[in-house]
A and B are shown apart, each in its own frame.
Chain A
Amino acid sequence: MNSILTACSDGDGPERKIQFLHGTTTLAFKFQHGVIVAVDSRATAGAYIASQTVKKVIEINPYLLGTMAGGAADCSFWERLLARQCRVYELRNKERISVAAASKLLANMVYQYKGMGLSMGTMVCGWDKTGPGLYYVDSEGNRVCGDLFAVGSGSMYAYGIVDSGLKQKDLTVEEACDLGCRAIYQATYRDAYSGGQVNLYHVHSEGWNRVSQSDVLMLHQQYQAEKA
Chain B
Amino acid sequence: MNSSSTHFVTSRRIGIYEPLHQISTWGESFKTNGCPNTSASTIAELEAKLDNQSEDTSHGTPGPSEKYDQEATKPVDKVQRRLAQNREAARKSRLRKKAYVQELESSRVKLMQLEQELERARQQGLYLGAGLDAGHLGFSGAVNSGIAAFEMEYGHWVEEQSSQICELRTALHAHISDVELRILVETAMNHYFNLFRMKATAAKADVFYMMSGMWKTSAERFFLWIGGFRPSELLKVLVPQLDPLTDQQILDVCNLRQSCQQAEDALTQGMEKLQQILAEAVAAGQLGEGSYIPQLATALEKLEAVVSFVNQADHLRQETLQQMVRILTIRQAARGLLALGEYFQRLRALSSLWATRPREPA
Query: Do A and B make up one complex?
Result: no
**Residues of chain A whose beta carbon lies under 8 Å from any beta carbon of chain B:** none
**Residues of chain B whose beta carbon lies under 8 Å from any beta carbon of chain A:** none
